[in-house]
Amino acid sequence: MDFILTGIVFLPLFAAIVIMMMKLAGDKNGMVIGIAGGASLLTFLGAMVLLVRFDSHHHGMQFVQSVEWVSMLHIYYKVGVDGISLWLVVLTSLLGVLAVYFSRGQKKNLQYFLALILILESGTLGVFVAMDSILFYVFWELMLVPAYFLIGFWGEGNKVYATTKFVIYTLVGSLLMLVGIIWVTVVHYDLTQTLTFDIPTLLQTQMPADIQFYMFVCFFMAFAIKIPIFPFHSWLPHAYVSCPIPALILITGAMSKAGAYGLIRFCLPLFPETIADWGLWIGTAAAGGIVYGAWIAVAQRDLKALVAYSSISHLGFIALGIFAFNGQGVEGSVLQMVNHGIIASALFIIVGILETRLGTRQLDKFRGLKKPMPVLYAMFMLITLAALGMPGLNGFVGEFLILMGVWGSHLLAGMAGLFVLAAGLAIVFASIYMLFMFQGAMQEPVEEMHDNVKDLDRREIGLLVPACILVVMIGLYPKGIVDRVSPAVDHVLHMEKKYKSLDADSGHGGGH
């Protein structure tokens, strides 16, 4: 089974290459879709195999495969999953299937569009499974390339501006991260005289106190921009509004999680002392983002912008939970990553469906769609309720655990009450803007009937059904997910430092 992860990660990439090489005579879109769909489905099945065979009691990496890549620098191709990345792999592969199937509606250059979607999927999966920091970085940048073209070519509105801003902004972060990655290896080399980019080994290195802050900033900027954490979010509304919806499913559902994943994977274990010093400030930014995004979402009329700003708010929850720096907070964050991936992608699919039916996303332009679209009505309602955090559905579980973690957090102790209040305000706002969106679109009498408005067809129902099922299932039985996450989270939070400089102990007394 050593090859399973490699198979999962490279299958979409391989399919993408095949698709791009194909010479299409006439209209053979069907074949392209067949290949892409088959590859993404196989990937998803592979992820399911992972899920079934995963040993939930084990905290370390599983399904590890390791091959020497650049022997001179001791760079390895090494992949593996633990409880944290497992769910993100499953999520990404699921969203990959949805994205490919939702792409059918794409008229322009479907062949390359699908290929790029698949590359994006590969890159994201790679980030979640990479165990070598250089490999991590390669996949990290691999995510960016297709996203750039997807927004720039197939986008709408001010797409060139949006994609340029998105790419430059994230590139600034990721270059800093590259510096950080090399720096960590150098520190490790200084201590042990061995050159390695192996992430689990590096994580056990005690970073010197005097430079820890600067190293932290290198990593943190990359991840904070990717999630994004307020106030580094300004690329997001432009990129989301311009982005074609199939790509958006992956970008919002999976790629934004890469940032949060990086925070948990690198920042928490590597820089606990810096986080102890600066966690309160980051928490403040995250909590600020929660309210800020929600408040702006209340004022939006464009459905896509509304979901985009609500995403800023929900992603703020994830960041806040991570910096609670305790079990409930981080586990809640991982759960919320999965939840947000499901909910936000489903919301964007719904927005996409409405847009194809009505030709507009402006909330003022349509209402009363319940009558012609009863099936969409039911599914939209369920997703809306999950998004606004209705207890009994999945969103609430994540938010509850996160806020519980924040409340009991030592790191955020001084401000915990304020953060929870801010989050509470955002939850109230969430119910306002989500109901505004749902009721505004689906309820109230229709002035003139849209004749061409048909209810969902089978394919569209198929796109929304997984989300609907998961929303209920996770809400009813979150234990299934949390149980697999918690050993890994405990391991991250209580990581022992094997490699310390001798004066680190004395020099670093009880200062923090």
Partner 1 sequence: MYSLSWLILFLPLAGFLVLSWFGNRMPKFIAGWFACATVGGAFLVTLLMLAQLYTENPADRLNHIQTLYPWVVSEGFSLNLSILVDPLSVFMLLVVTGVGCLIHVYSIGYMHHDKEFRRFFAYMNLFIFAMSLLVLAADFFFLIVGWALVGLASYLLIGFWTEKKSAVLAARKAFVMNVIGDVGMVIAAFMIFEQFGTLNYVDVFKAAPTAFFPNDDSILLITFLLLVGAFAKSAQIPLHTWLPDAMEGPTPVSALIHAATMVTAGVYLVARCNALFTMAPFTMYLIAAVGVITALFAGSIGMVQYDIKRVIAYSTMSQIGFMFLAVGVGVFSVGMFHLMTHAFFKALLFLGAGSVIHGMKDEQDIRKMGGLRYAMPITFITFLIAALALAGFPLTAGFFSKEEIVMNAYHGQYGNFVFWGLAIVAVGMTGFYTFRLFFYTFMGQSRTPEAHPHESPMVMTAPLMVLAGLSLLGGFLGPWAHDFLSPVFGGALPVHHDDAMLEIIAVAAALGGILTAVAIYMTGKDQLAFAKQMLAPIYEALFNKYYVDEIYDFLIVKPVKGIGKFMEERAEKLGIDFSVDEVGRQVREVSRGISFWQSGKVRLYALNMVAGMVTVLLFVIFM
Q: Which spans of this chain sit near partner 1 (rule: CB under 8 A)?
A: 165, 168-169, 231, 233-235, 237, 292, 295-300, 326-328, 331-332, 368, 370-371, 378, 385, 388, 390-392, 396-397, 400-401, 403-404, 407-408, 420-421, 424, 427-429, 431-432, 435-436, 439, 442-445, 477-479, 482-483, 486, 489-490
Smallest gap from Cβ 470 to partner 1, in A, equals 16
Q: Which is nearer to partner 1, 40 or 486 (CB)?
A: 486
Cβ pair 196, 133 in contact under 8 A: no
Q: Which is nearer to partner 1, 31 or 469 (CB)?
A: 469
DSSP assignment letter at 512: -
Q: Give the dihedral sign, CA 252/253/254/260.
A: positive
Q: Give the dihedral sign, CA 51/56/58/59.
A: positive
Q: Which is nearer to partner 1, 63 or 223 (CB)?
A: 223
Smallest gap from Cβ 84 to partner 1, in A, equals 14
Smallest gap from Cβ 371 to partner 1, in A, equals 8
Q: Which is nearer to partner 1, 47 or 422 (CB)?
A: 422
Cβ neighbourhood burial of 400 (10 Å; 0-12, 13-18, 19+):
middle
Q: Which is nearer to partner 1, 112 or 438 (CB)?
A: 438
Q: Which is nearer to partner 1, 47 or 388 (CB)?
A: 388
Smallest gap from Cβ 385 to partner 1, in A, equals 7
Burial 115-153 (b: 16+ CB within 10 A, else e): bbbbbbbbbbbbbbbbbbbbbbbbbbbbbbebbbbbbbb
Query: d(Cα 23, Cα 44) in Å, to the nearest integer?
Result: 27
Cβ pair 95, 345 in contact under 8 A: yes
Cβ neighbourhood burial of 161 (10 Å; 0-12, 13-18, 19+):
middle
Residue 57 CB neighbours (<10 A): 8
Smallest gap from Cβ 355 to partner 1, in A, equals 21
Cβ pair 446, 367 in contact under 8 A: yes
- Residue 150 half-sphere exposure toward CB, CA atoms < 13 A: 30
Smallest gap from Cβ 439 to partner 1, in A, equals 5
Smallest gap from Cβ 231 to partner 1, in A, equals 5
DSSP assignment letter at 410: S
Smallest gap from Cβ 404 to partner 1, in A, equals 6
Cβ pair 432, 356 in contact under 8 A: no
The tokens for 63 are 């399904």
Q: Which is nearer to partner 1, 123 or 478 (CB)?
A: 478
